[in-house]
Structure 1
Amino acid sequence: MLPQLELHRLEQNCQDWNVPTDAMLLISRLKARSLQSIAGSAAMTIGVHNQNWCRMNGNRKIRIVLADDHEVILNRVRGALDHDFEVVAAVSNGQDAVSEVQRLDPDVLVTDISMPILDGLQAVHQLRGINCRTRVVFLTVHADNYFVAAAFSAGASGYVTKSRVLTDLIPAIREAVQGRTYVSQSIKL
């Protein structure tokens, strides 16, 4: 039998993963009847107990291009994102970010501001100039309001400081995909 807490988590995961309503209703009914062992079996059957629900449902993971001129940062961010997202490219400058976004059409570009050849702000300006649909989340050391304002003026959906990468980046990406904005809590607007 699944404990009540597990059933609650299962319901929450259904909402987080956009599980079809009929599957959520099945789990809710089973929970209401306290048929926990059946609810657990149903959860395993419909596949909501693992992170692969999107692929099982014919959907795909959120596709991301990373841009940062520090390889250590790229590797750290890729490691943090690989479980929940599909990182389709990682580049070290803004010019390559523009090229890869145009070529791969990802859902989100996670980019630094300070990079060689073309900085992140310039790259995003170029992408917006060609009506690119890719959402942008800036991941940067710059916590100054000037940079935050410049990022959102360029067309950003999110702004995360590197000191908060592990706590803020995933929520920022999810908000961006939903058409909302996100700013790290460490930034005082």
Structure 2
Amino acid sequence: MAAQVVASPILVLVDDSPAFSVTVLEMLRTKYRVAAAFSDGTSALDKIGVLSPDIVILDISLGDLSGFEVARRLKLSKCPAKIIFLTMHEDTDFVSAARDVGASGYVFKSCLTVDLTKAIDTVFHGGRFQSGALSTKVR
């Protein structure tokens, strides 16, 4: 009997911190296919449609556009990619705003090594994920 092949999501990372992006990319590439990383929202929006990722991992605080604006524009363009915010903002108002723009996941940068792969796997399989004390997994 043939072994079942488990699909791995295609990811795009959008974060304006080069050092942080390198750390995240090193972690992600051990388990997932990373199509690209962008340091600003405009570049990401220009290329995401062509790359067709399953998941876009977005920082909220970007240099040009906010991650919320990038997510809003992706949804308006009917982009099927799911969104996970990866951010330093550990505040319920930000979590609510992320939900309002259609995010499926919200991961605190302070919980990166524990939560990001859990969030990716959960979101890729149709669930929702949120870091920290605000909640754990949300379905």
1:176 aligns with 2:123: yes
Higher strand share: 2
Give the CA RMSD over aligned residues. 1.7
Q: Report the TM-score when normalising by structure 2.
A: 0.91
Larger Rg over CA atoms: 1
Match of 1:154 in 2: 101
Any idea what SS the aligned residue of 2:121 has?
Answer: helix
Pairing of 1:50-89 with structure 2 (within 5 A): 54=6, 60-89=7-36
Q: Report the TM-score when normalising by structure 1.
A: 0.68
Higher helix share: 1
Per-residue displacement from partner, 1:7-38 (whole Å, max 9, x unpaired)? xxxxxxxxxxxxxxx56xxxxxxxxxxxxxxx
Structure 1 stretches of 4+ with a deviation exceeding 4 A read none
2: CA distance, partners of 1:153 / 1:166: 26
Any idea what SS the aligned residue of 1:139 has?
Answer: strand
Match of 1:42 in 2: none
Q: How much has 1:61 moved relative to structure 2?
A: 2.7
Q: How much has 1:179 moved relative to structure 2?
A: 1.4
**Greater RCO (Cα-Cα under 8 Å, separation 6 or more):** 2
2: CA distance, partners of 1:141 / 1:97: 20
Q: How much has 1:186 moved relative to structure 2?
A: 3.6
Q: Percent identity?
A: 34
Q: How much has 1:188 moved relative to structure 2?
A: 5.3
Match of 1:130 in 2: 77
Pairing of 1:1-189 with structure 2 (within 5 A): 46=3, 54=6, 60-187=7-134
Structure 1 gap ranges (5+):
1-21, 24-45, 55-59
